[in-house]
Amino acid sequence: MQPRMRESRRRMSIHPTALVDASAKIPSSCEVGPYCVIGAGVELGEACRLASHVVMEGPTKVGADNRFFPFCAIGLAPQDISYKGEPTGLEIGDHNEIRECVTINRGTVKGGGLTRVGSHILIMAYTHIGHDSVIGDHAMLVNGATLGGHVTVEEWAVVGALCPVHQFVRIGAHSYIGGGTTITQDVLPFSVTSAGRDTHAYSLNKVGLERRGFSPERIHKIRHAFKVLLASKMNTTQALEALRTEADRGEDVDMLVRFIESSQRGVIK
């Protein structure tokens, strides 16, 4: 054992069976459990806890007060045939719970080189976050959610259990995707989207918005916008134009309009 590694074990709570690279940066407030493996280029924030059998590779930078459960693999090389060993990265924010067998890959050069996970996120067991993805604050990824590369999940969105999400798809803020739904196009902000005979947006995520403190007035404006987009006889271009001409439509509707206008894969309606 290298002298530097022996010294770090005395300063912090690292189990004797854990393997920690000498270059890894681990504050004394962290806990590293049995059989964890922490490689070169890993930097942990204060008060992180690794339960057991956690594997981390760098370059990976983790914020404060994150909890990693057994058998998750964090910051490993991207699953992309173009990857040739470049030093791409992963950044994780604060106060996240990353459950058993979660995999989060680093970025690729062609995708910008960085996978980013925000703060206050619950990532449930067996979830996969592919290379160059971006996960917004307060999102939730339920058991077995599988995100291809370059996926964006905006703040407060919920991706249901066993949902496969195609590469380059965006999941809009405050949306909810029902379990087992295959997502190949962008998911509208504020929507409830699920699979019946096909995948489509069913309704407004009213319950979720109320839980997050949206006022009745805000919810009413968003509901009206959904009726124009989803229940009228107008096509998407006509519906967007109608919404733009409405006075006092509110910031939420403006965000919804911008989301649709900027879509590259089309939106689920």
Please name the helix (run of DSSP H) or strand (run of DSSP E) that holds residue 22, with its range, or none.
none
- With CA atoms as reference, report the closest residue to 181 among 126, 203, 166: 166
Residue 196 annotated as catalytic: no
One-letter amino acid for residue 134 of the chain: V
Among the listed residues 53, 131, 138, 150, the single catalytic one is 131
Judged by DSSP in three states, 10 sits in: helix
End-to-end CA separation in angstroms for the chain: 59
Q: Which residue has the tokens 């739904």?
A: 181
Q: Are 46 and 65 in contact (CB under 8 A)?
A: yes
Q: What is the DSSP string of 125-149?
A: TT-EE-TT-EE-TT-EE-TT-EE-T
CA distances from 115 to 57, 77, 214, 241, 266 (A): 13, 11, 30, 35, 23
Residue 149 annotated as catalytic: yes
Q: Which residue has the tokens 């407060």?
A: 156
Among the listed residues 33, 39, 136, 149, the single catalytic one is 149
Among the listed residues 132, 144, 160, 174, the single catalytic one is 132
Residue 248 annotated as catalytic: no
Q: Which residue has the tokens 């006092």?
A: 248
Token pair belonging to 180 = 């087992």
How far is residue 9's CA from residue 205's CA, in Å, rounded to a whole number?
48
Q: Which residue has the tokens 């900027």?
A: 262
- Which residues carry out catalysis? 131-132, 149
